[in-house]
Chain A
Amino acid sequence: MSTEKTMTEKLTPTPGQTVGPFFGYALPYEKGGELLAPGTPGSIRLAGTVYDGNGEPIPDAILEIWQADAAGNVVTETGSLVRDGYTFTGFGRAPVGNTGKYTFTTVNPGATEPGKAPFIAMAVFARGLMNRLFTRAYLPEDTEALANDPLLASLEPARRKTLIAERLADGSLHFDVRLQGEDETVFLDFASPASREG
């Protein structure tokens, strides 16, 4: 049973499982990747490709993003699944296409606290991926805040750069997700050591 207690009186979390191959008719929804309607003043595109360990695009992954608004506020508005066209909810979900590419329309998140490096939190799901992965797509501009970020500071430069999105000339953000390989994206563990394993 899922409710048995550990010695610390904490409940043991339910294990995750792969999203499998057949989420395509269930999890994606209309305008899932459009946190703002494309073309809205101030909107940007966040796009990239999800790759496997051979550097091949993965055609059956789905990504979620969760972020602060442009002023750095955490949004508490409902309406992510049924968008009303003008309320920014901070949450989006987008499956990749046949070429592994995903696209979100959103805003640049502001810093949630002064001096903090703004980032877009991301969860990655795919067929063949046993459990969801968390990562972050940092905005590249505030180099001082990036240098002071505790997570980025704990990474060697080659790994650090996998978390920093690239700003393209048209203002969009480019952020690839590499599940495996030399430039493997840094994925995050927020769990306690007791539930951490390889």
Chain B
Amino acid sequence: MGEPVKSSDAAADNQAILSREIRDIEESYKASVAAGAPAETQPRIDYPPYRSSILRHPTKSLHHADPETIELHSPAFGHQDVHALESNLTIQHGGEPLGERMILKGKVLDGDGRPVTGQLVEIWQANSAGRYIHKRDQHPAPLDPNFTGVGRCITGPDGSYEFLTIKPGAYPWKNHLNAWRPAHIHFSLFGTEFTQRIVTQMYFPGDQLFPLDPIYQSIVDQGARDRLVATYNHDLTSPEWALGYEWDIVLTGPKRTWTENEAYGEQGEDSEH
């Protein structure tokens, strides 16, 4: 809206055109991997099927930098910042929100598999009808007076987080004609270093909208995309109460272990830089 020429949010193209673009990019990615290129693990920053990205992605490649002292540390969050009840998104109002109650649980780990403890996890999401509280969300689906869709928690000693929430609905957006986002929960995470800062989205298994969604498909590698999909866990499901989903998050790095790696004589981080 209000954006000039090539970035247009106007729903000009239909899903068939978008799906073809998505497929073409994936085909050429698969061919490059078959020819020996390394698998990609992050989304493409330049991914034209997501129309709003066209004028908003750097065209010069990211510049390699060794992190400096401040970047090797992370802001500290604690129980002054987050109240224990903020992890329960179903009790923020006078009544029960509508929809499928769900328990969402997992661990935040670093690249070595070590738990990221005492760190901030933030989530936000649409309600069960696919509507956000946000004023710019014009989807004509009902707001739920008992659901805001924002949660926070601090990870435990084993890196674990847990939320009680409502399964979000899919929602339409204006990327192209008849564009729908698969149901998802937005996640914001910090590690032990600022270099590990990540914002991402968690999806639900088996969503029919996956092949159609340019945001999910901006991660062109199927294995990498799969890392954003939670697992349904019946052992986590609580009888007569809530369905259980599990999702672990792995942050990059850490980069602070160079000297350890060198001391152990391993082919450590250093060789990757």
Write the residues of chain A forming the contact surface with B, with a CB cutoff of 8 angstroms.
Answer: 1-4, 8, 10-27, 52-54, 56, 58, 64, 66-68, 74-82, 84, 89-91, 109, 112-113, 116, 119, 121, 123, 125-134, 150-151, 154-155, 159, 179-181, 184-198
Contacts and interface: CB of A to CB of B under 8 A. Distances in A.
A26 B121 CA distance: 12
Contacts of B156: none
Interface of B: 3-5, 7, 38, 40-47, 50, 52-71, 73-82, 109-113, 120, 122-124, 126, 132-137, 148-150, 152, 173, 186, 188, 194-195, 197-201, 215-216, 218-219, 223-228, 231, 247-253, 255, 267, 269, 272-273
Given A21-B137, A180-B55, 18 more contacts: A14-B251, A15-B41, A17-B228, A18-B50, A21-B134, A21-B136, A25-B134, A26-B123, A54-B4, A81-B80, A125-B199, A126-B56, A130-B218, A150-B66, A151-B65, A180-B58, A189-B63, A191-B42
A152 B227 CA distance: 35
A194 B271 CA distance: 11
Contact of A130 (B5, B47, B80, B122): B47
B132 A25 contact: yes
Nearest to B134: A22
A190 B248 contact: no
A188 B43 contact: no
Task: Choose among B55, B75, B82, B132 the residue with the greatest number of A CB atoms under 10 Å from its CB.
Answer: B75
A22 B199 contact: no
A68 B70 contact: yes
A13 B194 CA distance: 15
A23 B52 CA distance: 16
A78 B56 contact: no
Given A16-B199, A193-B272, A195-B41, A180 B252 contact: no
Nearest to A64: B197
Contacts of B201: 17-18, 20
A95 to B, nearest CB: 12
A124 to B, nearest CB: 10
Given A24-B136, A81-B82, A11 B62 contact: no
Q: What 5 pairs across the A-B complex have the smallest Cβ distances? A: A128-B52, A26-B124, A192-B272, A78-B78, A91-B75
Given A17-B215, A25-B132, A76 B43 contact: no
Task: Choose among B42, B71, B81 the residue with the greatest number of A CB atoms under 10 Å from its CB.
Answer: B42
A14 B226 CA distance: 9
A190 B57 contact: no
A131 B154 CA distance: 23
Contact of B70 (A76, A77, A121, A132): A121
A13 B250 contact: yes
A13 B248 contact: no
B186 A20 contact: yes
A170 B76 CA distance: 31
A129 B7 CA distance: 12
